[in-house]
Amino acid sequence: MEDVAQTRSQGRARGFAWQPYGKQTFERAAREGRFILIHGAAEWCHWCHVMEEVTYTDGEVARLIAARFIPVRVDVDQRPDFMERYAAWGWPATIILSPQAQELGKYRGYLPPQRLAQILRAVDTATSVVDSRQQRLDVPAPTTALPWIAAHALRTMDGFYDVDLGGWGRKQKLPLGANLEVELLRAAAGDQRALQRATQTLHAQRALLDPVWGGVFQYSVGGAWDRPHFEKLMTVQAATLLATARAAALVPQARDDATSIHRYLRTHLRAPNGAFFTNQDADVGAHDPKAPFVDGHTFYALDDAGRKAVGTPWVDQHIYARENGLAIRALVALYVATGDNVALLDATAAARQLMGSHVFEDGSVARDPASPSQPFFLLDVATLGQGLLDLHAAAPDPALLARATSMAAWMVRAFSAPNGAALFDHTPDADAAGVFSQRLRSLTANVEAARFLASLAQHNRDPAPMETARAILADTLTPRALDEQGRMLGELLLALHAVGAWQP
């Protein structure tokens, strides 16, 4: 924190300009024989701000970049494909590419000036990155193996449970809404141990709820629940709201927690048109070099009046399809659990806005219509489509079902691969080069697609989408993909439940 304040007080500025992530930059790098330095950052990310204010204003770092590199900053929320590819390395993530955009190095987290300068000087000795994970047998499963995979995933998830403090994992404590949903399904079926885990986790993660404005902080460090990082991401808000709403019938306190998150969404992340913004930063002044910087630890210790006197952490006002799909699903869950008509009205308003602005006649879904050069992303159409189906289930509307049906048909056409059932994460990107020309078929995106198709099959009483969903999961669930999920297995288990491969 002190480094950021000191840098600003000295008035230091970067000695270079970030270049756009796109075709012209890649072509220039190849033409001039310059290496590419990519700074993968999120607008809400505290340590991304620190690296930008400290490391990238360092004179030696700027000199090395100017001499041999083209520097590129990627907003990972704008590019889900980049986020999926490098999530294990950030944020921030530092990626070094050859002039032909092939990977030479990948570095995780904040790098101080001396470390980044060392990396930049050593670029001549770098060769292609060797990923030992590629050497493993990576064979997809047959659909008949899905129940076995579900049993294996459940055992793995249970193994990550922290019996002392609640939640999954010990070093970093974070609200995992999908994992909690799995426990609630098991508890509803009479599993008392699952009920105990759900109750313990709900109580423990209350330490991440903002008691003044509502909403939930991203995660906590140091193996404890009370050392939060103060970013408020829509992905975390929606997943926690959905899980706590569904927990209300079993754990009475959960209703208050869900209502608190809904209040935050309405007051801080809701756009005037009824859609929802993307996230809110942890700190005040991180996006304005002329403003006084106040870190989240100081700011969120204040009461409402104290906060308003200081300022408000910056809100990312992009309106993305996936994030709004998540918000719609969560608000519908709150309405179903509590009868809160305001939640239903908010979900309906967001759905109507997105159908008018992000969904096109052929069923295609733009992540952000303001960025028409971007490819289309699987996560956007799958998650928003599921949100429309959830809303239709709660407040039947044939127009919602028809639109979701057309979105699913377009999804399968647009993202299908020439071999295998698993879908590509995005449509072809004319601006991509090198490593970015290789489209991924990630577990995260394909799980969402399978859940959407399974839900559509139930609504339309059509077995075809269900079979496609099962095939997608089977083709995606390789040993490597399962291992890489770590403790975050809830979404996968919910998808396996949706296709009938797991019953609690």
Output the pLDDT for position 478.
84
How far is Cα 159 from Cα 495, in angstroms, rounded to an integer?
Answer: 20
Output the pLDDT for position 12.
64
State pLDDT tens for residues 249-267.
888 889 999 999 999 999 9
Both structure tokens of 459: 């609504």
Sequence-distant (6+) residues with CB within 8 A of 301 are: none
Q: What is the DSSP string of 302-341?
A: S-HHHHHHH----EE----HHHHHHHHHHHHHHHHHH--H
CA distances to 57, 266, 272, 303 from 306, rounded to whole Å, are 32, 21, 26, 5
How far is Cα 100 from Cα 126, in angstroms, rounded to an integer?
Answer: 14
Beta strands, E only, 267-422: 279-280, 315-316
At the topology level of CATH, where does 2-130 sit? Glutaredoxin (3.40.30)
Q: Is 219 helix (H, G, I), strand (E, B) or coil?
A: strand
How far is Cα 366 from Cα 63, in angstroms, rounded to an integer?
Answer: 39
Name beta bridge partners: 283. none
- Label the pairing between strands 69-75 and 35-41: parallel
State pLDDT tens for residues 43-66.
888 889 889 989 999 999 999 999
Beta strands, E only, 42-176: 69-75, 93-97, 103-108
Output the pLDDT for position 53.
87
Q: In the block, which residue shows the tokens 């950030």?
A: 90
In this predicted model, which residue has the larger pLDDT, 145 or 132? 145
CA distances to 183, 235, 385, 479, 487 from 179, rounded to whole Å, are 7, 14, 22, 20, 9
Q: Supply the mean pLDDT for the chain.
A: 91
Domain parsing of the chain, residue ranges: 2-130
| Greatest mean pLDDT among 58-67, 94-103, 128-137, 236-245 | 236-245
How far is Cα 66 from Cα 73, in angstroms, rounded to an integer?
Answer: 15
How far is Cα 504 from Cα 191, in angstroms, rounded to an integer?
Answer: 8
By the 8 A CB rule, do 452 and 411 touch?
yes
Output the pLDDT for position 125.
57
Q: In the block, which residue shows the tokens 């990576």?
A: 138
Residue-level length of the chain: 504
Q: Is 285 helix (H, G, I), strand (E, B) or coil?
A: coil
By the 8 A CB rule, do 500 and 189 touch?
no
* φ/ψ (deg, to 5) at 276: -125, 140
- Label the pairing between strands 93-97 and 103-108: antiparallel
Say if residue 502 is preceded by a cis peptide, omega within 30 of 0: no
- The H-or-E segment that residue 480 falls in is helix 479-485
CA distances to 1, 110, 309, 312, 314 from 294, rounded to whole Å, are 9, 19, 12, 10, 12
User: What band does 6 get if pLDDT is binned at 50, 70 and 90?
Assistant: very low
Span 29-43, mean pLDDT? Answer: 94
In this predicted model, which residue has the larger pLDDT, 479 or 276? 276
State pLDDT tens for residues 305-346.
999 999 999 999 999 999 999 999 999 999 999 999 999 999
Output the pLDDT for position 11.
47
Q: Of 337, 348, 341, whose CA–CA distance to 244 is shortest?
A: 337
234-247 vs 192-204: helix axis angle to the nearest 10? 130
Q: In the block, which residue shows the tokens 């759905």?
A: 351
Say if residue 80 is preceded by a cis peptide, omega within 30 of 0: no
Name beta bridge partners: 107. 94
Output the pLDDT for position 7.
39
Output the pLDDT for position 138.
59
pLDDT at 29 over 70: yes
Cβ-count burial 418-449 (b if 16+ within 10 Å, e if not) = eeebbbbbbeebebbbbbbeebbbbbbbbbbb
Output the pLDDT for position 168.
97
